[in-house]
Amino acid sequence: MRVVREHPTVVLAAACIVLLVGIVATGLALSSSVNSLTVDDVTTQVTDGMDELQGQLPQDAVLSAADTIRTEPCPDGGEGTLVAVERSIVTVDGFDLTGWVRELSATYAAKEGWSATMRSEQGPAPILTLASRSLMLFTLKPSATSATDPAPKLTIEATSRCSTVD
């Protein structure tokens, strides 16, 4: 009791240090569980982004959409898993998919937090790469129609970041 009466500041400082250590330890424990990403989490991040892009298409222009999902080891050699998603969207005959991709490029180039890069590869169909602020990359490839396949198709490809837990 004598120490408390003679040095109340020391006792108060010790109590604050104990409280601070407890707060920091709790914060670290909570933040590590919040930052854990399962394969399902990273898959959802990619497919949600694709859903947003597909949602830019007029609803009556889409005939069907199908995803192909594959997992790979994390390229940095870590324990996580990388998820690659390819979505094939078939649109109605006559829909100007190339024009739509060009419009989407302009829209996302003007959107804060996004970057849009358009390139053409030997033909009129452009390839659009969209990068979000979180460095999620989406590549959109419209395919030209042909005599054997008149329905315009759009392929959206994206790769997740690596999961932290499996």
Name the residue ranges covered by the structural domains of the chain: 2-34, 39-159
Task: Give the three-state DSSP class for 137.
Answer: strand
Rounded to whole angstroms, how far apart are CA atoms 42 and 60?
A: 29
Q: Which residues of 48-81 are buried (b: 16+ CB within 10 A; e: fewer)?
A: ebbeebbeebeeebbeebeeeeeeeeeeeeeebb
- Record the pTM: 0.73
What string of pLDDT tens digits covers the 166 residues of the chain?
565 566 666 555 555 465 555 454 444 444 434 468 899 999 999 999 999 999 999 999 999 999 999 999 988 888 889 999 999 999 998 899 989 999 999 999 999 999 999 987 556 678 999 998 888 899 999 986 666 666 789 999 999 989 888 6
- In whole angstroms, what separates CA 42 from the centre of its chain? 8
Closest by alpha carbon to 111, among 53, 161, 59, 54? 53
End-to-end CA, the chain: 54
Given a contact cutoff of 8 angstroms between Cβ atoms, the answer to whether 50 and 138 are in contact is: yes
